[in-house]
Amino acid sequence: MILVFGKTGQVATELQRSGDVLALGRDQADLSDPVTCAQRIRALAPSAVINAAAYTAVDKAEEDEELATIINGDAPTVIAQACAEMQIPLVHISSDYVFEGSGGEPWKPGDATAPQNAYGRSKLVGEEGILGSGATHAILRTSWVVSAHGANFVKTMQRLSKIRDTLSVVADQIGGPTPARDIASACLVIAQHLQDDPSKSGTYHYSGAPSVSWADFASEIFAQTSLSVTVIPITTAEYPTPAKRPLNSRMDCRTTVSTFGVKQPDWRIGLNEILKELEVTT
- Catalytic positions: 119
Burial of 89 (0-12, 13-18, 19+ CB in 10 A): buried
Q: What is the layout of strands, in order, in the sheet containing 174-175?
A: 212-213, 174-175, 248-249
Strands (E), the chain: 2-5, 21-24, 48-51, 90-95, 137-142, 145-146, 166-170, 174-175, 178-179, 202-205, 212-213, 230-234, 248-249
Cis peptide before 177 (omega within 30 of 0): no
Burial of 251 (0-12, 13-18, 19+ CB in 10 A): buried
Query: Residue 145 in 3-state DSSP?
Result: strand
